[in-house]
């Protein structure tokens, strides 16, 4: 596996998490622009990631360093959710949010598993991911 790229190769979760732990990911201009546009419109932004909870500190530092700040909350995958698929986990968090009174206006994701599942949103944004693709 190449240190700088995971594309075109089988996903190495250990290597990917090692890289995530370094907190050096850069923002893709189009996702940061969309994020800032949504934030400017006054919507609350809730981040749901399939990253594991032990990566919380590195993830928060990386988000802020890359320009993603001002979000309301960040959901990361706990041990109790590791047996669920990404789609089941993220749909479950969305259901919890709706049960707590939120309306989901949009979902932004780089994998179909992040977007699919009920409940869904009024708008979905599927972005490319140059590092990996989950089939």
DSSP state letters, 61-122: HHHHHTT----SEEEEE-GGGTTS-HHHHHHHHHHHHHHTT----EEEESSHHHH-SSS--S
Q: Which residue has the tokens 């698929």?
A: 85
Tokens of 4: 């700088």
pLDDT grade, residue 128 (50/70/90)? confident
Fold of the CATH domain 28-56+71-126: Rossmann fold (3.40.50)
Chain segment 25-54, per-residue pLDDT in tens? 888 888 899 999 999 999 999 999 999 999
CA nearest to 55, candidates 30, 81, 23: 23
- Check if the beta carbon of residue 51 is closer than 8 Å to that of residue 59: yes
Tokens of 61: 């530092």
pLDDT at 11: 66
Band of residue 3 on the pLDDT scale cut at 50, 70, 90: very low
| Beta carbons of 25 and 51 less than 8 angstroms apart | no
Dump pLDDT digits (tens) for 67-107.
999 999 999 999 999 899 999 999 999 999 999 999 999 99
Structure tokens at 96: 């919890």
> What pLDDT sits at residue 30?
85
Greater pLDDT, 127 or 80? 80
Which is nearest to 19 in space by CA: 53, 55, 44?
55
Confidence (pTM): 0.84
Give the sign of the dihedral formed by CA 81, CA 112, CA 126, CA 100: negative
């Amino acid at each position: 596996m190449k240190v700088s790229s995971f594309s075109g190769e089988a996903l190495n979760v250990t290597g990917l998490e090692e890289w995530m732990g370094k907190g050096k990911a850069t923002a893709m201009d189009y996702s940061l622009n969309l994020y800032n546009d949504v934030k400017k419109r006054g919507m609350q932004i809730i981040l749901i990631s399939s990253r594991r909870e032990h990566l919380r500190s590195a993830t928060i530092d990386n988000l802020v360093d890359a320009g993603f700040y001002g979000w309301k909350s960040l959901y990361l995958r706990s041990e109790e959710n590791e047996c669920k698929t990404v789609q089941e986990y993220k749909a479950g968090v969305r259901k919890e949010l709706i049960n707590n009174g939120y309306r989901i206006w949009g979902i932004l994701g780089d994998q179909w598993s992040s977007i699919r599942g009920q409940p869904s949103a009024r708008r979905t944004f599927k972005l490319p991911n140059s590092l990996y693709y989950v089939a």
